[in-house]
Structure 1
């Protein structure tokens, strides 16, 4: 699938002129798109929208909750050349100590270890200097290079919103991780207790690891680091496994790669579209796509956080979408035991998305985000199993039991859309 095939994209009805309510949309990106079924049509659409196509040769492992840290630390301790970490949240805790000790040991063994953290997630929003006093100093004393992404001192509001929400770890340029993880105590555990967040992550080997490394390199440069050495980008051959694409997105005026990716993933669904997302309050264009998919006979489901949520206004904004989606036939659940922090999409029996990308205006328009989009029927089956297990710990929402909107929810929706939207 690395060679793009001559696939015809079907025209979108009404793409020129006016939409159904008489609004002129001739000069806006149209959607929902109609794609030929299957991986080839999706790959070609993804390529012309983001510049990245699905490429073969990827071995992917789905890791839930704290499983990711055991596997990640095992890979870090085995690193021979480099360890690169780009994270939004890194705060002092027992989990942090495990990572600090592993990086110190590798650095002293001659492995080049580089860390970029976002100061909003790790320090500056609360004025807490624990990262630089308790983590950074230990790392730098051992030779680990540490940088902050876009310091906030003396900056304007746009700087506050233009953060890196990426969660990336790259080991030796050959193994990469992404998902919802941060280095903090809430990610320890099984996601079934109030203080343990429920999350989903991915480990990948194959050619797209180079794209993860490029994303790290761009953040590293902007944060004061230099160019990475050539050996940080080893040649990676397609050696079995499924097709994948890493979609790196950053905030800008207009439609970002993150939103383009989401629109195309939704468009690819012909039988099933199951979305689990921590901050589910997508723009109206994507809500319209979901409604269209239901009318086309697609099983559309949304799983969001329930009573445990770290940003109450976002939860209210999320709930403001329920009434119209339920009326259209979308099924909605809220996860009950803990904060649901996953950012996943499951399409039919073959297409999966796992990464850091939330479905809110901030994530889709302002933040730096990354998600792995991949074709893998085995992982799709595992994600279905995860969904079924999560549903047993969730409450289905109907119009009669919490699905109606209200003034607070409508206000929250307007506030969260305005905060992240440039268009």
Structure 2
């Protein structure tokens, strides 16, 4: 009974802004979950409808290593290849992906592609994707669709994008992470024009849920129903337990925000967050502060001087002063844009996917992340952290951690973009 009581926050003791009365009517925390993977899985299921399912094999893939593995799987596909990306722009990497899809389509494999026009071309005012990618693919028999065209509906659709990154081969192999198909994802993340990113390859039952996410995008983009053969019966492939959280923007709390809150709530020893756009809502900042008070070690790794959205870096840095005061340690990655979206909790829990920890991703965009219970995978992710910290600068109150009017203004603006409650 006491463990269940721990799930209920005590607003008066936590100093919520807005007072105890407001806190009674809004989700807070959770600040402490009952211990263990089973309790966590039930909390995740209760919050998102998805629990942890056993039977997965996982590969952690950094930077451009994801494409060699992915292209090998695509070339070996027997029945279907499905690609969903936010950014796909013509380049040498694009040519390699196009070549692999064309070859499979001509061999009789059903190849389907969904791209987001905002990330890929439409908002940029050119049609390179049409001429250099779409036309080549469709001539070979690959079906290509755009997700939520902007024409005539800019105000209603500009923020309602799909930021997911999925590649599913034969309904049995899935990829997710931060990747797009563009030149910045080539290389090793050690140069300004080569982004640092983290991805994973997964086999096991949750690939079916990833396929479901693709099919829903496909339907909304005019692609119709996908045949049952693209949804083979789930097969166990390895020892890892996992759950894929597919989130969509809506009024109120999205599954992406619920997932992050529950993952943070599970921590008893450490929370390590690597995120490209770290400026979460105040409720998550309060949750991190409370975890510090509980004695949890919290580390945050974000982008440094190489950043593709300067206002987001300012918004990110506006959170530093309060977090540093609470005891959080913060680093900024120096060589290039740090684009990973990962969480590491204690020695058994991790998250990898497309979900940024900012108001836009948590409230407006379609996102997808895999939540993983596996100690060996956590160790691999921790080794990535150790390597990244060798190329990062620790931020303190004395060397850039204090806020200023520009940072506060940037945070208000970026929070307003995703505000819906």
User: What TM-score bracket applies, with the shorter chain setting the length?
Assistant: over 0.9
How far apart in 2 are the matches of 1:38 and 1:275? 20
Partner of 2:100: 102
Q: Secondary structure in 2 aligned to 1:161?
A: coil
The ranges of structure 1 where at least 4 consecutive aligned residues each deviate by more than 6 angstroms after the TM superposition are none
CA RMSD across the alignment: 1.4
Per the TM alignment, residue 32 of structure 1 is displaced from its structure 2 partner at its CA by 3.3
Per the TM alignment, residue 240 of structure 1 is displaced from its structure 2 partner at its CA by 3.3
Partner of 1:10: 6
CA separation of 1:255/1:13 partners in 2, compared to 1, >3 Å: closer, same or farther?
Answer: closer
**Could you state the TM-score of these two structures normalised by the residue count of structure 2?**
0.97
How far apart in 1 are the matches of 2:131 and 2:5? 54
Which blocks of at least 5 consecutive residues in structure 2 are unaligned? none
How far apart in 2 are the matches of 1:240 and 1:199? 25
Q: Secondary structure in 2 aligned to 1:275?
A: strand
How far apart in 2 are the matches of 1:250 and 1:73? 28
Check conservation: 2:273, 2:301, Cα contact below 8 A.
yes
Q: Show CA shifts across 1:279-313 (max 9, x none).
A: 00000000011111111111100000000000000
How far apart in 1 are the matches of 2:149 and 2:128? 16
Partner of 1:240: 238
Per the TM alignment, residue 239 of structure 1 is displaced from its structure 2 partner at its CA by 4.0
**Could you state the TM-score of these two structures normalised by the residue count of structure 1?**
0.97
CA separation of 1:137/1:44 partners in 2, compared to 1, >3 Å: closer, same or farther?
Answer: same
How far apart in 2 are the matches of 1:55 and 1:18? 34
Check conservation: 2:246, 2:369, Cα contact below 8 A.
yes
How far apart in 1 are the matches of 2:238 and 2:163? 31
- Written as runs of structure 1 = structure 2, the 5 A alignment for 1:377-392 is 377-392=375-390
CA separation of 1:403/1:56 partners in 2, compared to 1, >3 Å: closer, same or farther?
Answer: same
Q: Which of 307, 312, 315 is matched with 1:314 structurally?
A: 312
- Written as runs of structure 1 = structure 2, the 5 A alignment for 1:112-151 is 112-151=110-149
Which blocks of at least 5 consecutive residues in structure 1 are unaligned? 1-6
How far apart in 1 are the matches of 2:234 and 2:240? 14
How far apart in 1 are the matches of 2:365 and 2:375? 30
Per the TM alignment, residue 19 of structure 1 is displaced from its structure 2 partner at its CA by 5.3
Check conservation: 1:16, 1:26, Cα contact below 8 A.
no
How far apart in 2 are the matches of 1:409 and 1:379? 36
- Written as runs of structure 1 = structure 2, the 5 A alignment for 1:199-348 is 199-348=197-346
Aligned residues: 417
Q: Which of 149, 164, 167 is matched with 2:165 structurally?
A: 167
Partner of 2:182: 184
Q: Show CA shifts across 1:246-270 (max 9, x none).
A: 0000000000000000000111111
Partner of 1:3: none
